[in-house]
Chain A
């Protein structure tokens, strides 16, 4: 049963201009991710998967092509529009966690809601329940440096879920974790997938990619 496309890329290219040279990183990517899928995008370093991630994550604009996010054409958005979509539609999980070291776990988790303008009580309540969901209900007031790597990544996942985005975009989520923590994180992602979330994981690791529902391989700026 075909579900609705969430991410739809058609003929996406990306070039950078350095002086007189134009360097093309992506050469016409076509890719579709459907609602509720768990997709892994795999490729060696230098394949352009980071660039692809930035475009999918609306951190950057493609040079040409078309990008549809649900029913919205998000190919060329202004900075503020990109920020809006990122805030509401996409939950990021980074390889190096990227938590704010000087604030508590809860304050980290509610940050997307701060930028969405949600009131304090609502977002704190939701933040606490998300932390409980990832098994960190007791660590609400701790600072990130008091947590292990695996725990920090789980905080990051809770943060990614804060505004209830339809997509979770994870860039090498287990890259900085030991195998046990890595397993815990993948379990959480699988649980989210079962609950209906669309998950896209970028990785170079075969064993991680195999845990997804579908694998898309990138090499030299093309889908192979």
Chain B
């Protein structure tokens, strides 16, 4: 019965985690704005350097040309990203994600909630002003209880004035989203000496315009680049890819858990076979008193199913408990269908693996059974 408990428990827990992951990631990406197209350098099958990197050919002029062509139907937001240490006075925050964006970033991506201050303007972007918006972790590490507004921090070798403090965004998979500093893209490019972009976001103004924007965007980029140099991915695509991957993963995990259930079923069958042997005399007696084959068969089959159902119920309770517990620390979502499936499975396992011992019991000859010691 332990095998059945473990199998059912595993099915429920793993499916909960899988569902939870799917939902979480879907929400995260949906939250980014539903008309988004990501333009990223390289392609899934593209040529790589010995170091495993793909050459990044997306440059600022590509973004400009996209903007020119797509202006009526979409907003364009190029992004540069680097990791660096940020310092204030004698404090230092290492491994901060420095994002260089355009002024329209908040309207394209998730709207940033500000605790204080605001985003930089288009003219600040144009001039490459050294201004910055900091996340909560940066604020806490460098400023503790002081007011960061207007203070100057060192990002790499440059000094930036803080004009905004973002509200807390939490962690995703252990990555702290609050350990970020956002600066105008022009400033970041000058500061770090980069020419290529990490990504270009296109935000179609209406959902119906997304495929048009994707087509036109591809046309524009192909004028200068080859197909391998970039990938246009709609949010829908990303969502469905991730969904599919996690879906497949969940099924795979579920499959493994099912194997465990089957092992449990074999265990049940063995228990029942032993039980039949030990109760041979009892079976002989029942037959002598008038039990027909089907009476004995149904008696033992019922016992096998009960055994599995009991294991299943315990497994479900444990699985639900673990899922709920996990929801606090990580991600998991309890799905009713997995509970139902696990329960149905345990009944099925009971029937399938209980049949053979039950049939054997029913076929015992009463005379020999009564003689059995």
Q: Considering the chains assembled together, what is the distance between the CA atoms of A88 and B282 in angstroms?
A: 19
Contact B289 A59 (CB under 8 A): no
Contact A112 B293 (CB under 8 A): no
- In terms of DSSP, what is the predominant structure of the interface of chain B? helix
Contact B282 A100 (CB under 8 A): yes
Contact B293 A59 (CB under 8 A): no
Which of A57, A79, A163 is in CB contact (< 8 Å) with B293? A79
With A98-B370, A100-B282 known as contacts, the answer to whether A112 contacts B289 (CB < 8 A) is: yes
Contact A100 B290 (CB under 8 A): no
Contact B288 A92 (CB under 8 A): yes
- The interface on chain A, measured as residues whose beta carbon lies within 8 A of the other chain's beta carbons, has a size of 21
B271 within 8 A of A: no
A184 within 8 A of B: no
Q: Considering the chains assembled together, what is the distance between the CA atoms of A74 and B282 in angstroms?
A: 25
Contact B291 A83 (CB under 8 A): yes
Interface centre among A57, A60, A79, A116 (most CB of B within 10 A): A79
Chain B residue at smallest Cβ distance from A89 = B290
Question: Within residues 109 to 138 of chain B, which ones have a CB less than 8 A from any CB in chain A?
Answer: none
B360 within 8 A of A: no
Which of A80, A84, A98 is in CB contact (< 8 Å) with B285? A98
- The interface on chain B, measured as residues whose beta carbon lies within 8 A of the other chain's beta carbons, has a size of 15
Q: Considering the chains assembled together, what is the distance between the CA atoms of A94 and B286 in angstroms?
A: 13
Question: Within residues 38 to 73 of chain A, which ones have a CB less than 8 A from any CB in chain B?
Answer: 54, 57, 59-60
Contacts of A112 in B (CB 8 A): 289-290
Interface centre among B281, B290, B366 (most CB of A within 10 A): B290
A87 within 8 A of B: yes
CB 8 Å contact bits of A133-145 with B (1 = contact, 0 = none): 0000000000000
A193 within 8 A of B: no
Contacts of B227 in A (CB 8 A): none
Contacts of B292 in A (CB 8 A): 79-80, 83-84, 115
Contacts of B288 in A (CB 8 A): 57, 59, 86, 92, 98
Chain B residue at smallest Cβ distance from A97 = B285
Contact B290 A115 (CB under 8 A): yes
A15 to chain B, nearest CB (A): 15
Contact B289 A86 (CB under 8 A): yes
A111 within 8 A of B: yes
Contacts of A79 in B (CB 8 A): 292-293
Contact B367 A100 (CB under 8 A): no
Contacts of B293 in A (CB 8 A): 79-80
B287 within 8 A of A: yes
Question: Within residues 91 to 147 of chain A, which ones have a CB less than 8 A from any CB in chain B?
Answer: 92, 94, 98, 100, 111-112, 115-116
Contact B290 A54 (CB under 8 A): no
Contacts of A59 in B (CB 8 A): 288, 366-367
With A98-B281, A100-B282 known as contacts, the answer to whether A87 contacts B289 (CB < 8 A) is: yes
B219 within 8 A of A: no
Which of B281, B282, B291, B370 is in CB contact (< 8 Å) with A115? B291
Contact A94 B370 (CB under 8 A): yes
Contacts of A163 in B (CB 8 A): 290
Contact B367 A83 (CB under 8 A): no
Contacts of B291 in A (CB 8 A): 83, 115
Contacts of A84 in B (CB 8 A): 290, 292
Q: Considering the chains assembled together, what is the distance between the CA atoms of A86 and B289 in angstroms?
A: 6
Q: Considering the chains assembled together, what is the distance between the CA atoms of A88 and B290 in angstroms?
A: 8
Contacts of B285 in A (CB 8 A): 98, 100
Which of A54, A80, A111 is in CB contact (< 8 Å) with B286? A111
Interface centre among A83, A87, A98 (most CB of B within 10 A): A83
Contact A115 B286 (CB under 8 A): yes
Q: Can you report 16 A-B residue pairs in the complex whose CB atoms are below 8 A from each other?
A: A59-B367, A79-B292, A79-B293, A80-B292, A80-B293, A83-B287, A83-B292, A87-B290, A92-B288, A98-B281, A100-B285, A111-B286, A115-B286, A115-B289, A159-B289, A163-B290
Give chain A's interface residues, CB within 8 Å of chain B: 54, 57, 59-60, 79-80, 83-84, 86-88, 92, 94, 98, 100, 111-112, 115-116, 159, 163
Give chain B's interface residues, CB within 8 Å of chain A: 281-282, 285-293, 295, 366-367, 370
Task: Known pairs A54-B367, A57-B288, A79-B292; list 11 more (Cβ under 8 Å).
Answer: A80-B292, A80-B293, A84-B290, A86-B288, A86-B290, A87-B289, A98-B370, A100-B285, A112-B290, A115-B290, A115-B295
6 closest A-B pairs (Cβ-Cβ)?
A87-B290, A115-B290, A83-B292, A98-B285, A112-B289, A80-B292
